[in-house]
């Protein structure tokens, strides 16, 4: 009997716990090739140079892949990492190893799903399986078709927050071996990272999950979640969630155990509330596909904003007339991270105070954030720009009032040098600047 050879394409699921797609592949084939492609996952989604990722993003991913490779080695497997696109490397492996089955975790990103469909059309004789691992619910479990996803989070929450959620899958105990195939890892360029807040990888994710719920922080989360700096004001699960080192179901299981032993309150519910917000944007990306990156978003008319290069550069560098925004942007550039409150304020500033095309802001965050997630990032930017899932339209924050509430003594601004800026926003008349494509 011929041996069944399969291929598993890792994407944003860099773990061996609660990975149903990987478990399915391991159970159905005799030999398995595990591969990760470093090429940018959504090149047309952004307006930046695709390879220009921040050192923090690169370093976190590098750590996560190294950790996954070690976990696979412990199971007699190996992880192959390549700079090639899946559309280039997978055909080579199909020919070389007579691959009959290809697996992956379902992706929220439109362009990832497009590439997957291209492979399916190109190889109709191969069995393809894409399995949900990045959400709390499977689409088939929802009380509505994905085409009828509610147009606001509040409507979605009312329909879903009481639904039962499956328990996470156990850690893989064994895997089929890899065939005799060797693809050397790309030589990593030296990455210099200062102000390292997060270490990548499933092991660090599990350690953080355990440490967070061993503390009492979950019981005060709702009161502290709008903090600006530090590791304790919010859960800080997002970098590992974004890279798939940790699943939403794993978090929810430990949250429920915490509530059982230490008591449930508004704060513990609010952690679930935030997981539902993330869930909504994952489904939002599935539902709206390419529109996630459209200037007009879900609306019929385009925003009354444009692209002014000098203003955008000053926003990126934290050199605007708004000290709180400057402080957040300098924090982001230095650490690869920013609080949720900060993300709202800098986005509001870019769109409403500076009059800039929101997609350039979303693209810059894609480049910088260590917890970049295509659905949450682009969905939230649409929300702030008034072209997404918000029936009330634009979300404009009073930056002076926000500063008084969240940094009343100016400590955060002072630490990050937010009050050091060029008093002149525009050095030339805006009419002289080119208008970007929309």
Note whether 225 and 318 are same-domain residues: no
Query: 77 versus 42: which is more confidently predicted?
Result: 77
Range of the domain at 266: 202-290
Domain end residue (candidates: 133, 160, 190)? 133
- Return all residues near 416 (Cβ < 8 A) that are at least 6 apart: 318, 326, 327, 328, 330, 331, 334
332 in a domain, yes or no?
Answer: yes
Q: Give the residue among 271, 269, 277, 248 at the shortest CA–CA distance from 383.
A: 277
Residue 15 lies inside a defined structural domain of this protein: yes
Residue 216: how many other CB atoms lie within 10 Å: 9
In a domain, 155, yes or no: no
Which one has a higher pLDDT value, 48 or 280? Answer: 280
Q: Starting at the edge strand that comes first in sequence, how are the strands of the sheet with 127-131 ordered?
A: 79-82, 31-37, 5-10, 101-105, 127-131
Residue 396: pLDDT above 60? yes
45 contacts 107 by C-beta, under 8 angstroms = no
pLDDT at 338: 97
Helices (H), 244-368: 248-262, 266-288, 309-317, 323-335, 340-348, 358-368
- Lowest-confidence pick of 150-154, 205-209, 241-245, 264-268: 150-154
DSSP 220-244: GHHHHTT-SSSSSSS---HHHHHHT
Residue 214: give its domain's CATH number. Answer: 1.25.40.80
pLDDT tens readout for residues 294-350: 999 999 888 888 899 999 999 999 999 999 999 999 999 999 999 999 999 999 999
Confidence band, pLDDT 50/70/90 cuts, at residue 93:
very high
Q: Are residues 227 and 286 in the same domain?
A: yes
pLDDT score for 188: 65
Between CA 239 and CA 201 the distance in angstroms is 10
DSSP 5: E
Are residues 285 and 313 located together in one domain of the fold? no
Among residues 133, 150, 185, the one where a domain terminates is: 133
CATH code assigned at 345? 1.10.579.10
Mean pLDDT across 224-232: 94
The answer to whether residue 42 scores a pLDDT higher than 50 is no
Question: Do 414 and 337 belong to one domain?
Answer: yes
**How many whole angstroms separate alpha carbon 177 and alpha carbon 195?**
39
pLDDT band at 192 (very low <50, low <70, confident <90, very high): confident
Average of per-residue pLDDT across 245-251:
98
pLDDT surpassing 70 at residue 248 = yes
351 neighbors 361 (Cβ within 8 angstroms): yes
Position 186 in a domain: no
Element (DSSP H or E) covering residue 23: helix 20-28
- Would the pLDDT of 180 be above 80? no
pLDDT at 339: 97
Rounded distance, CA 360 to CA 342, Å? 17
Q: CA–CA separation, 45 vs 36, rounded Å? A: 20
Evaluate whether 275 touches 252 at the Cβ level (below 8 Å): yes
Residue 250 lies in a domain: yes
Mean pLDDT of 37-52: 56
256, 352: one domain: no
Neighbours of 62 (CB within 10 A): 18
Q: Are residues 256 and 371 in the same domain?
A: no
Reported as type and span, the H/E element at residue 160 is helix 153-160
Domains of the chain: total: 3
Specify whether 257 is located in the same domain as 207: yes
CA distance 83 to 67: 18
Classified as helix, coil or strand, 289 is helix
361 and 418 share one domain: yes
Tell which of 229, 259, 290 closes a domain.
290
* pLDDT at 204 exceeding the cut of 90: yes
Strand boundaries in 52-92, DSSP class E: 79-82
The predicted structure's pLDDT at residue 40: 57
Give percent helix, percent strand, percent coil of the chain, each to the nearest 5: 50, 5, 45
Same domain as 14, residue 129: yes
**Whose CA is closest to 269, among 220, 232, 212?**
220
**Number of CB atoms found within 10 A of residue 223's CB:** 12
In contact, 9 and 119? CB cutoff 8 Å: no
What is the rounded distance in angstroms from the CA atom of residue 259 to the CA atom of residue 55?
A: 37
Q: Are 22 and 69 in contact (CB under 8 A)?
A: no
316 domain residue, yes or no: yes
* Domain annotation covers residue 154: no
Over residues 33-37, the mean pLDDT reads 96
Whether residues 316 and 283 fall in one domain: no
C-beta of residue 241 within 8 angstroms of C-beta of residue 136: no
Q: What is the pLDDT of residue 427?
A: 78
Query: Is 190 contained in some domain?
Result: no
The CATH number that applies at residue 33 is 3.40.50.620
Residue 385 pLDDT > 60, yes or no? yes
CB 231 within 8 A of CB 117: no
Question: Does residue 314 share a domain with residue 267?
Answer: no
Other beta carbons within 10 angstroms of residue 4's beta carbon come to 16
Assigned token pair, 353: 């105070």
Instruction: Identify which of 65, 85, 41, 118 has the alpha carbon closest to the alpha carbon of residue 285.
Output: 41
Residues 275 and 320 in one domain: no
Phi, psi values for residue 412, rounded to 5°: -65, -45
Helix axes 374-385, 358-368, angle to 10 degrees: 150
Query: What average pLDDT does the segment 87-113 reach?
Result: 94
- pTM of the predicted protein model: 0.93
The mean pLDDT of 270-292, rounded to a whole number, is 97
pLDDT at 186: 73
């Amino acid at each position: 009997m011929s041996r069944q050879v399969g291929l598993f394409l890792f994407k944003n699921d860099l773990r061996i716990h609660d990975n149903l797609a990987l478990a399915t592949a391991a159970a159905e084939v005799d030999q398995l090739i595990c591969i990760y492609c470093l090429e940018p996952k959504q090149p047309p989604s952004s307006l930046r140079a695709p390879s220009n990722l921040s050192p923090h993003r690169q370093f976190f991913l590098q750590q996560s892949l190294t950790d996954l490779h070690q976990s696979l080695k412990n199971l007699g497997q190996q992880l192959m990492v390549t700079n090639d696109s899946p559309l280039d490397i997978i055909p080579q492996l199909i020919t070389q190893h007579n691959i009959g089955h290809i697996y992956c975790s379902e992706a929220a990103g439109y362009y990832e799903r497009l590439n997957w469909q291209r492979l399916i059309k190109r190889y109709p004789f191969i069995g393809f399986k894409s399995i949900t691992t990045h959400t709390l619910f499977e689409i088939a479990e929802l009380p509505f078709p994905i085409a009828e996803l509610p147009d606001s989070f509040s409507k979605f929450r009312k329909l879903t927050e009481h639904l039962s959620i499956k328990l996470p899958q156990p850690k893989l105990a064994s895997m089929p071996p890899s065939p005799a195939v060797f693809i050397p890892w790309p030589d990593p360029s030296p990455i210099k990272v200062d102000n390292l807040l997060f270490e990548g990888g499933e092991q660090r994710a599990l350690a953080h999950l355990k440490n967070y719920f061993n503390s009492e922080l979950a019981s005060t989360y709702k009161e502290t979640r709008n903090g600006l700096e530090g590791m304790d004001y919010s859960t800080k699960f997002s970098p590992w969630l974004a890279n798939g080192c940790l699943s939403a179901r794993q978090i929810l299981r430990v949250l429920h155990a915490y509530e059982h032993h230490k008591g449930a309150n508004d704060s513990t519910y609010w952690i679930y509330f935030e997981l539902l917000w993330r869930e909504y944007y994952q489904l939002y990306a599935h539902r709206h596909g390419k529109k996630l990156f459209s200037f007009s978003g879900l609306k019929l008319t385009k925003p009354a904003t444009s692209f002014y290069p000098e203003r955008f550069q000053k926003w990126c560098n934290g050199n605007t007339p708004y000290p709180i925004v400057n402080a957040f942007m300098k924090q982001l550039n230095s650490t690869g991270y920013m609080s949720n409150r900060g993300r709202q304020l800098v986005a509001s500033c870019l769109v409403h105070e500076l009059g800039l095309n929101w997609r350039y802001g979303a693209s810059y965050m894609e480049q910088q954030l260590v917890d970049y997630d295509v659905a949450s990032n682009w969905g939230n930017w649409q929300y702030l720009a008034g072209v997404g899932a918000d029936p009330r339209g634009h979300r404009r924050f009073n930056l002076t009032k926000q500063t008084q509430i969240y940094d009343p003594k100016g400590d955060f601004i002072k630490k990050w040098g937010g009050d050091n800026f060029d008093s002149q926003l525009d050095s030339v008349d805006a009419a002289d600047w080119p208008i970007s494509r929309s």
